[in-house]
Structure 1
Amino acid sequence: MRNTEEAEGFDGEASNTSMISGASSPYQPTTEPVHSRNVLGGIRCDLEYLKSLFGIFKIVEVALALIAFICIETIMLCLPCGGVYLFEFVSCSAFIVTGVLLVIFSLNLHTKVPHIDWSLTDLGNTAATTFSFFLASVVLVALNHKSGAEITAVIIGFLATCVYAVNTFMAVKRWRTGDGRSGAIQTSEYMRARTASRGEMESRSDLP
């Protein structure tokens, strides 16, 4: 009987010791669910944007800028080369900037930075790229040597100018109808949420 009690005592002490060592161990298993520790922070592909008119225009613009850049890169000899260099810079810049905006909008990354007026940013990009493509295409027409690559680049350049111009018109219309103020609305909501959370933290710190 004594052996049984001693065994039970040892078991109890062992269990208590394991509980104490487990409580003080730095390798405690967390109770936080795995899905709440998402590293991407809720980033997802917005298929609705890609199917919308603005998303389709963005995809077409990126494709045209890439094709124009590839065409101008195939030109090996040019004299003078000012028109080729200008068209190369414009097409490469349009591909990069428009591609970045397409990624930002399609992944809803613009919602992570609400204090930027993204509608106005998109409008500025499309307007500037429209003028740049038109200017680069006109200069390339004046200085080209009637090669196949140059003629193709000019055609793609003017086509890209038309697409960007239509997108600029749509962006202006959207901005004037009030969607351009969404950035300011999101900013006020963001500041209001931060103020509320700060007030809650201060009230908690005042508690004994």
Structure 2
Amino acid sequence: MADSERFSAPGCWAACTNFWRTRKGILLFAEIVLCLVILICFSTSTSAYSFLSVIEMIFAAVLFIFYMCDLHTKIPFINWPWTDFLRSLIAAILYLITSIVVLVEGGNSSKIVAGVLGLIATFLFGYDAYFTFPLRQQRHTAAPTDPTDGSV
């Protein structure tokens, strides 16, 4: 049993690390890092807006792990494209609203930096929502026009 675990580990590791090179993997990793930086900026100035960064960072990390370990194929009762699309769309809208409120309020420099980074997060999450829009990803094939039985 130990031998089978040892031999399956490189394949599992390769499957997990291959996700890092995809566009979706890079987007999710960038979202996690950006949410962490925004969280640090909000924590130094005020804790009023840090909840959004914490929640979005957790959601992005969970989806990153699910996609990286290929768990989304093992849980078929959740519609993953729509879940990911709604997560990123809602995050983009909430970051836009929060950033506008923070920038209008003003304050110290870390709060303004967090507001500007929130606008960057809005564009990043918006691009992720556009990229993962499920109806955009569906491919339609043309219906056959010739009869299949061969009679003319």
Same fold (TM over 0.5): yes
Runs (5+) with no aligned partner, structure 1:
1-31, 77-83, 180-208
Give the aligned CA root-mean-square deviation in angstroms.
2.5
Matches within 5 A, 1:36-185: 44=13, 45-75=15-45, 85=48, 87-145=49-107, 147-172=108-133, 174-178=134-138
1:47-106 deviations in Å (ceiling 9; x for gaps): 332111111111111110000000100116xxxxxxx51x21111111111111111111
Matches within 5 A, 1:183-194: none
Query: What amino acid sits opposite 2:137 in the alignment?
Result: T
Question: What is the rounded CA distance, in whole Å, between the counterparts of 2:71 and 2:90 in structure 1?
Answer: 23
Question: What is the rounded CA distance, in whole Å, between the counterparts of 2:2 and 2:81 in structure 1?
Answer: 37
Equivalent residues, number:
136
Runs (5+) with no aligned partner, structure 2:
140-152
Match of 1:27 in 2: none
Q: Give the 4+ runs in structure 1 shifted more than 4 A.
A: 42-45
Shift of 1:154: 0.8
Closer, same or farther: CA 115–73 of 1 in aligned 2, 3 Å: same
Shift of 1:34: 5.2
Question: What is the rounded CA distance, in whole Å, between the counterparts of 2:30 and 2:102 in structure 1?
Answer: 22
Match of 2:150 in 1: none
